[in-house]
Structure 1
Amino acid sequence: MTSGYVYTQGDILIEPYKFEKILKLKIIREINEHSKLYLSGIVSDEYESSDQCVEWANENAVIKISVKDDKGEIKDLFYGMISTIAIKSVDNVKTLEIEALDNTCKMDIEKRSRSFQGDNIQYRDIFNTINSSYSSLIMIDYISAGRKIDKMIVQYNETDWEFLKRLASHFNAGVIPECRLDGIKYSMGRGEASSLYSLDEFNYSVTKGIQEYKIKSAQGIAENSVNFIIYEFTTNIIMDLYNTVNFKDRYLNVYRCEMEIIDGVLLNTYTLRDEKAIKVRKYYNNKISGVSLEGKILSCKSDVVKISLKIDGYSNTADSNSEWVPYSTIFSSPDGTGWYCMPEEGDAIRLYFPDSDEKNGYAISSVNLECSNVEKRSDPSVKSLGTKYGKEIVMSPGAINIISSNNTMTLNDGGGISISSDSSISMSAPSISIDGGEVTIKGKDKVKLMQSGASITITDNIDMSGSKINTQ
């Protein structure tokens, strides 16, 4: 055991509860996890009027653990929220049992869905948006350094804590909760300045994470399997996560700590790892795989669109706050053939994620929405394609109608072809042939046929003109 003050059971201070004897005290701290407290002890039979300390506990109940050395100096060990509290009475001996989590657990309750998109959004902006929902919060950002997101990032059905861990993994870093202070305190990654300890423990264990090395090596964040050697030992020295320890002539970092009372002495079991092995592999949100999010088109160009999403309350109204995403077409080919039919501004759309990586998302067609003209969507046998500019193609079982405002062409199975317009109809070609058993040309006021300098005009009379007229 390393030299230094040895805290014993009598040095432990607990607020607001009073124990006659502590039976169990364990505090577990680990990167990317809430710090956990397990506490049990014997209390007076008259404590808090018997069972009232359990009855009065609510969602805001807190507990604080500290220690006091022989000089009277107090060191805080844990300050957090009670998650479970119970009193057990056996032979008139009452045992109070408490489980608690550090205050970052407040960020791990409510599931949220929202998107972060835009050319100028930094990771720090996302951190600030997350933190703005909580009071008494302090975050130290050691990782982002002004870096901007390169693709849309979507928090989908995740708590803020889950989302923060995923964001930190983009930098191969972890989230480190601070369990010794009141309020929500945490850091993204580790700082450059970290306390250095030199320890020489004779009782220890050593293991090697071979499978972990294989996984991280495949992701390009592991160089050598030697870095995945893990040491574990027990000491009375109190250290923090990520503290640097000179052990066995290697500089290692505290990855996990388990503080516990053993035989009346407060001891700490540490897991030490190489800094390169502590790197976190990139996390993905598997819950978003196969999900379609409703949205509206902000703008289109070429074969990409910008979308304002329903999960954001359609709050994105400017192109600068949105990202271009591909639009899925029915079919396409490298030579440019295929179906090109882009949506228009304001159209309903869905953003589809084929897998757990948001960067692979693309826009697809929308489900049917309520229409002001119900008849247009009342008959499944009638297919239609229309634009907001009054252009429409309607394919019914017996006909095809091509409509452009007040101009209509109808191809009818039983009635032939009809063309209707409220303005002129013009046909132009090097050669036009009209052939039929009977040809009828009607004009309400006049029918006029012209060829070069010759013409025939039919009104109430027939007028013919030309350099030479032959009749028989």
Structure 2
Amino acid sequence: MRENRILIEPYQFISYLEVYAFKAIGHHGFIRVKGVIDESLADRYLMMMQQEVWVSVILQNEDLNRDFFRGIVTNLRIIDENGVHILEFEARSGSYLLDCCEHIRSFQADGISYRQMIDTCLAPYGNSSATIQAQGGNVIHELVLQYRESDWKFMKRLAGKQHTVLYPDNCTAGIHINFGLEEVINEKKIESSEYSVEKDASGCTYVVTCREPYEIGERVVFLQKRLHVSQVVSELKGNELYHKCYLRNKEEMKCIPEKNENLQGASLQAAVSAVEGDRVQIKILRDENAEHSGYRWYTYATIYSTPDGTGWYCMPEAGDRVRLLFPDTDEGNAYVVSSVHMEGGQDRVNPAHKSFMNKQRKEILFTPDAIILRNNQGLALEMKDEEGIKIISDKDIIMQAEKSITINSKNAHISMEAEDALSMKQGSTALSLNKTIKMSGGRINMN
């Protein structure tokens, strides 16, 4: 089939000076058109660029019209050359809109499918869809994090994890992508005597030049080999549009697994949801998918720990702020660490004071000249360099030992004072001071 006419909407060209299109697996479709237009249309076309403009390119012959490209205009200019008005525009497939903004989304639930993750990324966009092959139903059991990645780059990384491909639908308006190569029964046979064969470390590529256009991802037969179209470059030569098709085996078209280099060394603020043993569940604070992310258990990094149990066991509690840390580009190696203090308070104004306090305000305070244990409700044990040890209690103080208790003052005196009564007892011998002095025992000696 030969296409002998190019129709472009919404632009009307008198003649074409250049038509160039590039379509490839893993890339947004691209087209550049340059041609002569009527002078009366120039201002109208410039005004149209104040809003989003979608362009459609149709190849027409006597038998039918065939969609060749539909995309969003990303660049346009009009040149006046001696009264001849030339319009040049560039457009990209709708998948380009997936590549404009970076996002942070977590997928923590165990057993989430690739289809679910892709649908989550596409949900904010209107007129979007994904054709997902069998690989999209596979599930993943580790943390997946979209961190400072566009939706397009993230989905390409997902394709790499599945050793498959991602490519746009270049002939449909809107955002439409393909995850994996479609297996079709009907195969198109390419017949052309103008071809070359290229071989590199990744495999063998057949480069075929023909007049009939093919779409990337299509399965074709060439030289009795079943191949897939991996790339198409189309150019206008004279009045005819020629297409250079790159054909490869399916096994040689897989996306190379990629790592998100932004992830290495990154940390995200999070809130603790649950604690179990030395593990925590968290909710990431900047997570765009927080409501549907799910939960998983993370190891919590402590100050000091050994396999035999020696070390410091001090876990955060539900609601505490922590950080999810990524030591490298593999999300599966993430772990939770202690948080940076985010809010001011009178308890934390003196850097010389080191404090350890729980939510119930039970505190151990280290100062340059003292160690203080207190519950901030009337009980305290103070050990001060200049003043000694002070025990303060609004309740009973009990000292009990299986053996001796010795109270000894080497250089001063021992003072005991009570508001109501003071008593000492040993066996059947007792001394009581309560307004009067009472002594009792089997034998009392007084001197």
Query: For the superposition of Structure 1 and Structure 2, which TM-score range results when normalised by the shorter chain?
Result: over 0.9
1: CA distance, partners of 2:294 / 2:429 = 66
The one-letter amino acid of 1:419's match is I
Q: 1:57 aligns with which of 36, 49, 53?
A: 49
Q: Secondary structure at the match of 1:311?
A: coil
Are positions 1:245 and 2:236 aligned together?
no
Equivalent of residue 14 in structure 2, options 16, 20, 23: 20
2:74 aligns with: 83
> How do 1:90-101 and structure 2 match up within 5 A?
90-101=81-92
1:384 corresponds to: 355
Q: How far apart are the structure 1 equivalents of 2:47 and 2:131?
A: 37
Distance 1:117 1:470 in 2: 81
Structural mapping, 1:4-403, within 5 Å: 5-8=1-4, 11-44=5-38, 46-48=39-41, 50-71=42-63, 73-119=64-110, 121-193=112-184, 195-210=186-201, 213=202, 228-312=203-287, 315=290, 321-371=294-344, 374-403=345-374
How far did residue 443 of structure 1 move? Answer: 2.3
Residue by residue over 1:163-218, the C-alpha shift from the partner in whole angstroms, topping out at 9 and shown as x without a partner, is: 222222221122221111222222211222264233354433323332xx4xxxxx
Structure 1 range deviating more: 107-116 or 75-84: 107-116
Question: For 1:344 and 1:76, how far apart are their aligned partners in 2?
Answer: 59
Label 1:145 to 1:103 Cα distance change in 2 as closer, same or farther (>3 A).
closer
Q: CA deviation at 1:159?
A: 1.9
**What is the Cα-based RMSD across aligned positions, in Å?**
2.2
Larger CA deviation: 360-369 vs 119-128: 119-128
Alpha-carbon distance in 1 for matches of 2:331, 2:343: 29
- The separation in 1 between residues aligned to 2:122 and 2:210, in whole angstroms, is 36
Aligned length: 443
Mapped to 2, the partners of 1:77 and 1:60 lie a distance apart of 20
SS state of the match for residue 119, structure 2? helix
> Residue 448 of structure 1 aligns to a residue in which SS?
strand
Distance change in 2, residues 1:155/1:269 (3 Å): same
Which letter does structure 1 place at the counterpart of 2:37? V
TM-score (norm 2): 0.92
1:428 to 394, 397, 400: 400
CA apart distance, 1:455: 2.3
Query: Which residue of 2 is the match for residue 219 of structure 1?
Result: none
Instruction: Answer whether contact 1:400 1:412 (CA < 8 A) is retained.
Output: yes
- Partners of 1:408 and 1:366 lie apart in 2 by 28
Letter in 1 for 2:335: Y
State whether residues 115 and 311 of structure 1, in contact with CA within 8 Å, keep that contact through their aligned partners in structure 2: no
CA deviations on 1:258-305 (whole Å, 9 max, x unpaired) are: 122223222211111221111112222212222221121112111111
- TM-aligned CA distance change 1:301 to 1:332, over 3 Å: same
Indicate the residue corresponding to 1:461 in structure 2.
436
User: Helix, strand or coil: the match of 1:129?
Assistant: helix
Match of 1:224 in 2: none
**2:53–2:72 CA contact under 8 A, matched in 1:** yes
Q: Distance in 2 between matches of 1:174 and 1:274?
A: 13
2:390 aligned to 408, 411, 418, which one?
Answer: 418
Unaligned runs of 5+ residues in structure 2 are none
Residue type at the aligned position of 1:401: I
Secondary structure of the corresponding residue to residue 304 of structure 2: coil
Question: Which of the residues 398, 418, 425 maps onto 1:450?
Answer: 425
**Deviations for 1:2-45, whole angstroms, at most 9, x for unmatched residues?**
xxx2223xx2111121212111112211112111011111223x
* Separation (CA, whole Å) in 1 of partners of 2:362 and 2:226: 72
Whole-Å separation in 1 of the counterparts to 2:312 and 2:255:
43
Regions of 4+ moved over 6 Å: none
Work out the CA distance in 2 between the residues paired with 1:137 and 1:69. Answer: 30
Structure 1 Cα separation of the partners of residues 110 and 438 of structure 2: 72
Distance 1:104-1:361 versus aligned 2 partners, 3 A rule: same
Cα distance change, pair 195–285 in 1 and its aligned pair in 2 (3 A) = farther
- Shift of the 455–120 alpha-carbon distance from structure 1 to 2, 3 Å rule, reads farther
Q: Aligned to 1:88, what secondary structure does the other structure show?
A: strand
Q: Hey, what's the Cα distance between the residues in 1 that align with 2:36 and 2:349?
A: 73
AA in 1 matched with 2:234: M
SS of the residue aligned with 2:98?
A: helix
Deviation at 1:315, TM superposition (A): 4.9
Contact 1:449 1:456 in 2 (8 A): yes
Structure 2 CA distance for partners of 1:194 and 1:281, relative to 1, 3 Å: farther
> Deviation at 1:145?
4.9
The whole-number CA distance in structure 2 between the counterparts of 1:24 and 1:238 is 17
> Given that residues 254 and 271 in structure 1 are in contact (C-alpha distance below 8 angstroms), is that contact kept between their aligned partners in structure 2?
yes
205 and 450 in structure 1: CA distance in 2 versus 1, 3 angstrom threshold: farther
One-letter identity of the residue aligned with 1:448: S
Question: Is the CA contact 1:6–1:266 (under 8 Å) kept in the aligned structure 2?
Answer: no
Instruction: With the length of structure 1 as denominator, give the TM-score of the two structures.
Output: 0.88
Taking a change above 3 Å as real, the CA distance of residues 78 and 451 of structure 1, as seen in their structure-2 partners, is: same
- CA 328–59 in structure 1, closer or farther in 2 if over 3 Å, else same: farther
1: CA distance, partners of 2:432 / 2:91: 101
Match of 1:223 in 2: none
Give 5+ residue unaligned stretches, structure 1: 214-227
Worse-matched range after superposition: 30-39 or 435-444: 435-444
